[in-house]
Structures are given as structure tokens and as C-alpha cells.
Structure 1
């Protein structure tokens, strides 16, 4: 097995989702209708930018929000199925990643787990049934 060379989402853990959303909208970037008061999604070219409370992002990954090792940024690799999440997590761990959170059904209706690369950078491996993938494996958000 190998992974496609892509990132589905970059999620920034922010202090104030509304303030950060306003900033990115002033840049001319539009939030998707998949956004809500707790999280903003912005479709970029081939990737999605997520804005989520830093505390909630740490809680989702089950890491300490105040830890010097938690940068407040996660990368996501989305796959089309729950079985795919399990397979990718197993493969990435076999390549030297550390399992941070075993894959499980999550509050937003998907299935995901977290791994850390050798330097502690967090990757969420996820299946999101609400975000289809295109033929290139890129997340496609609603407008």
C-alpha cells in the first residue's frame, strides 16, 4: 500500500471562529454552506481549509491543548469508506507514525482517527459521508 500524495483538509485551531472566518472572507475566500457556528470550511483549489476552535481541535484529537507539541494545526487525509480509514491508519502506523486516537465514529457523523508523524504533526485520517471526493481524491464542498 501507499498513500496518494494529497492533503484533503488543513484545519487551523483558532481562538475565535467568527473572527477568523471574517478575516478569510475579507481575503475574498467564501465559506461553504457546510459551515456552521462551530466550524468554517473554505474550498480552495484541490484542498479545504477548516477553521475550528483550537480547544475543540485538541479535544477531537485527544491531545493537550496547552502542550508545546500541539501546534493547533492538523492535516487530514480523507478516504471514501470507514474500512479505508482503518487500512490507512494501520499502514501509516506501520511506516512509523504514532497512533494518537484509534479510528471511531465521531460526533459530526463520520469516522476518523489521528496519527502523528515522527515530529508530532497530527494527521486526521477520515471518512466524511457529507464531503464526497472527486476523481482526484479531492474533497468537494457544497457552495
Structure 2
């Protein structure tokens, strides 16, 4: 039996706020999707779905607010200056910084921000 990761699903409290954050990262999401309970996009060959809490409750038969860091989405940037630039753009738009850009011991430029639902988003080069 062979399996393939097909989609990453993200549960969101407010679809517009979530989609605005991911648009700031560079995702192409049409504005008419803002009011939908379920949104799917393709981003560089990866399918990403956003579900409102109510949709998640319906699909899973319930849903409780998670606590703690459970999963990370990491986005490769074109270079160290691109990490700094994207981090600056995201935080200037009012999104939370988890960790300012730094040069990691493993050789990458790295920064961490949080989306509106508290998911940690890594930016690196």
C-alpha cells in the first residue's frame, strides 16, 4: 500500500482574518472566499485547506481548542534578506512575532510568526 500526503488542513476561527494572513505570505486567495466555511488552494503543488471551527465540528463530530504548539508550517524564502523583509511585512501588518529573525546554528536565516489562530509559521532561507 502506498500513501501520499495530499493536503494540509488548518482550522480557523475567522476565515477572512486567516486568509488575509496567508495572502500577506503570498498566497493567491480570491477575496470572494472570505465568507466560505471551507476554502482550498494550491500553493506550489501543495493543497492547503482552511475550515472554520463550525465546519471542523461537523466533519469530526466535535472540536476542542488545542493548546500548545502541535504543528509548524515552514516557508522557504529566496534568501536571508527575504526572510527579514517578509518578517517585517507580517509584523507591520499587526501579526504576532514568535521570534525575530536570527542566524540559526544549522546555517539558515530563520524567523517565526503566528497566524491569527496561533499556529507557528517559520520563515527561513
TM-score bracket, shorter-length normalisation: 0.3 to 0.5
TM-score by length of 2: 0.48
Larger Rg: 2
Structure in which a larger fraction of residues adopt helix: 2
